[in-house]
Structures are given as structure tokens and as C-alpha cells.
């Protein structure tokens, strides 16, 4: 049986084309010390790039800018706190309407955090379930297991289908 880890894949940008050109102030997190002087109270936009590296940028940055316009393995928002054991993730979501990543993208983020020596929870603290409506094409965020399009009431598929 396939595990969630086997479902790690790459995601291409599906948002509006005009934000590609916007540059982001990106920090690449290769080790926990890269957060020193960068992380504070605010959450960050993040992506995990095709090399498996975690890239963060100020929260209002577009994910596609954080990714340099490339495909990603994960995208969302992340916040860090500093405890006795060093830096750790206090919040993580896959909220990115630019890439709409599926839940197994967590493993790409988890692997990047583990390599950098940054503490983490066991999954997204705020998971988002993205689906494209097969009838009207609208992008939906599924709430409370209700797989129905918010615009046209059509049924949404159980499987991730945004691309």
C-alpha cells in the first residue's frame, strides 16, 4: 500500500501570470542558525524547492516569487519560535493559492526542517484541502469534509485535482 510519503510530488504554479515578475526577499534555510535575526513573531511565506531546500520570504510575498517562478514540492505559511532546544516550527500550513499543494507535501517540508535541525510538529497545524470544481473550474478550499463547490454546488472529487 502506498504511504503518504510516496505521494510527495511537485506542484506547478496555477495562479495568475502577472505575479511571476515580483521579486521576493528570500532566505534559504540550510541550518537552524539561518533563522537568527530573521524569524520573529510574524509568519513567513515558504516553499520547498525542487532541490528540497526550504525558502522563506516575508508573509505578503507571493509563493511563486519565493520559488523564483519554479515548480515546488511544498508551499504554504510557516512561523518559528525559539525555545530551550533551539528553533522550532510553531505554525505550518499548506495555504498557497498559487500552488494549491496537497496534504502529503508536508513530508517535503518535514524533510527540509529535519535536515536543517529545526524542530517541528507531526503535520500541518492548519491543513488546507484544495480542489478544482470539475463543473465550473473554481478553486475551492474544502471545509469540514463537505466536498461541494461553493460557487455552483457541484460535487468535488476526493482526490487532489488542482492541476
Q: Per rule CB under 5 A, is residue 156 in the interface with Zn ion?
A: no
- Asked whether position 151 contacts Zn ion by CB under 5 A, the answer is yes
Q: What are phi and psi of 128, to 5 degrees?
A: -115, 135
Name the residue among 117, 121, 114 with its Cα closest to residue 33.
Answer: 117
Closer residue to Zn ion, CB minimum distance, 103 or 139: 139
Residues 85-144 that bind Zn ion (CB under 5 A): 133, 135-136, 138
Half-sphere exposure of residue 117, counting CA atoms within 13 Å on the CB side? 8
The CB-of-144 to Zn ion minimum distance in angstroms stands at 18
Q: How far is the CB of 135 from Zn ion (least distance, A)?
A: 5
CB of 146 to Zn ion, least distance (A): 13
The CA distance from 88 to 61, in Å, is 22
Q: How far is the CB of 161 from Zn ion (least distance, A)?
A: 12
Closest among 11, 16, 23, 25 to 65, alpha carbons compared: 23
Residues that bind Zn ion (CB under 5 A): 133, 135-136, 138, 149, 151-152, 154
Amino acid at each position: 500500500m502506498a504511504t503518504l510519503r510516496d505521494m510527495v510530488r511537485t506542484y506547478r504554479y496555477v495562479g495568475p501570470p502577472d505575479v511571476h515578475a515580483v521579486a521576493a526577499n528570500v532566505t534559504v534555510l540550510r541550518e537552524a542558525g539561518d533563522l537568527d535575526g530573521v524569524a520573529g513573531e510574524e509568519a513567513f511565506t515558504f516553499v520547498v524547492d525542487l532541490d528540497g531546500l526550504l525558502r522563506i520570504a516575508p508573509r505578503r510575498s507571493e509563493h511563486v516569487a519565493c520559488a523564483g517562478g519554479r515548480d515546488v514540492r511544498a508551499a504554504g505559511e510557516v512561523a518559528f519560535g525559539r525555545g530551550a532546544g533551539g528553533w522550532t516550527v510553531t505554525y505550518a500550513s499548506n495555504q498557497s493559492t498559487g500552488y494549491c499543494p496537497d496534504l502529503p507535501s508536508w513530508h517535503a517540508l518535514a524533510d527540509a526542517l529535519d535536515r536543517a535541525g529545526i524542530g517541528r510538529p507531526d503535520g500541518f497545524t492548519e491543513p488546507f484541502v484544495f480542489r478544482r470544481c470539475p463543473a465550473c473550474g473554481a478553486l475551492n478550499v474544502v471545509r469540514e469534509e463537505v466536498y461541494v463547490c461553493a460557487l455552483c454546488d457541484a460535487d468535488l472529487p476526493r482526490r487532489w485535482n488542482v492541476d
